[in-house]
Amino acid sequence: MTVLYNDPTQFREELIEGFVAAYGRLVRRVPDASGVVAAQPLPRSQVAVVIGGGSGHYPAFCGYVGPGLASAAVMGNVFAAPSAEQIYRVTRAAAGDGGVLFCYGNYSGDVLNFDMAEQRCQAEGLKVRTVRVTDDVASAPQGEESERRGIAGDFFVFKIAGASAARGDDLETVARLTQKANDQTRSFGVAFGGCTLPGQSAPLFAVEPGQMELGLGVHGEPGIQSSHLRPAHEIAGLLLETLLANAPAALPPRVGVLLNGLGSTQYEELFVLYKDVHRLLVAAGLTPYHPVVAEMVTSLDMAGCSLSLCWLDDELLPLFDAPCTSAAYTKF
């Protein structure tokens, strides 16, 4: 359970304060808003990439702010969307003359509030485009990909967006490449235990002993179905089989791979699982490219993991390879 807090109602504000104190070389806080911007101002002509969503998912979202990644992040309360006013203030603090890309997971509260902030910014003459992350194959069937929610695939989509902006691409190009990265990313996860909100004594959902949840969300939602707990090699097969059944068509076999921990699964366990994931990827004719085994989108203290694949064609590959620096992820 979540045990380190003072006043649960101030959890978001205190975590932002602590994050800025620790990583002030990379970020600064936006006054009167629950968000951060890059410590070094962007060139005025560069597209600003503004990401966001609820707290409780670190390193999403503030941990992705820095050169070559996001320009700013706005955070709501735990598992809650930031308000339109917060999004607006963070956007105005980050934006120059190149316009703004909003990028966030496809959840109703985030969609509503980011859309309101976008309308306000555009009324003031600021160009804004939006890409919603929709990588979770468990949340809608094939043919309804735009209805899916965003989970750990955020990592790939944000990375491509930030690299495109840092390269100097214009707003329309940044939006197009970010959308392409989203369209070529798929994720699926499993949970072994629920997460507990600060100040609460019971998890949002419970997993029976010897069971696991398939197709979990990252806001404390249980999976779409329960199953018996399996050894690591069988879980690897289940994750990969599900993703390949939902794979985008006619793409090269090179894939970015993220095996993501959800909050309380040990890294050693993730490496045990990745051994089998890697073997199965190669057996399926895919080429894992610079895999990442880490916590990149968490759900407080949830026990579980997700697997994300991003098909990297010749247009996306150099953007994934581009250097970046942030609290959570650095690439040289």
pLDDT score, position 12: 97
- Residues with Cβ within 8 Å of residue 329, at least 6 apart in sequence: 59, 63, 64, 69, 155, 159, 292, 294, 296
What's the half-sphere exposure (Cβ side, CA atoms, 13 Å) at 60?
37
| Sequential DSSP letters for 24-66 | TTTEEEPTTSSEEEESSPPPTTSPEEEEEEEESSTTTTGGGBS
DSSP letter for 191, please: E
Q: Residues 83-98, buried b or exposed e (16+ Cβ, 10 A)?
A: bbebbbbbbbbbbbeb
pLDDT score, position 219: 87
Q: How far is it, in rounded angstroms, from Cα 40 to Cα 196? A: 36
| Residues 70-128: tens digit of each pLDDT | 999 999 999 999 999 999 999 999 999 999 999 999 999 999 999 999 999 999 999 99
Contact status, residue 130 vs residue 106, Cβ threshold 8 Å = no
> Could you read off the pLDDT tens digit of each residue along the chain, which spans 332 residues?
789 999 999 999 999 999 999 999 999 999 999 999 999 999 999 999 999 999 999 999 999 999 999 999 999 999 999 999 999 999 999 999 999 999 999 999 999 999 999 999 999 999 999 999 999 999 999 999 999 999 999 999 999 999 999 999 999 999 999 999 999 999 999 999 999 999 998 988 889 999 999 998 898 787 888 999 999 999 999 999 999 999 998 899 999 999 999 999 999 999 999 999 999 999 999 999 999 999 999 999 999 999 999 999 999 999 999 999 999 999 99
pLDDT score, position 222: 78
Residue 5 corresponds to which amino acid? Y
Torsion (CA) 173, 179, 183, 187 in degrees, nearest 10: 130
- For the chain, list the strands marked E by DSSP: 27-29, 35-38, 48-55, 72-78, 100-105, 128-133, 185-193, 211-214, 225-228, 254-261, 287-294, 303-311
Which residues are 132's β-sheet partners?
104
Structure tokens at 23: 């990583």
CA distances from 291 to 180, 185, 311 (A): 20, 14, 12
Structure tokens at 8: 């649960």
Positions annotated as catalytic residues are 219
Do β-strands 128-133 and 100-105 pair in parallel, antiparallel, or remain unpaired? Answer: parallel
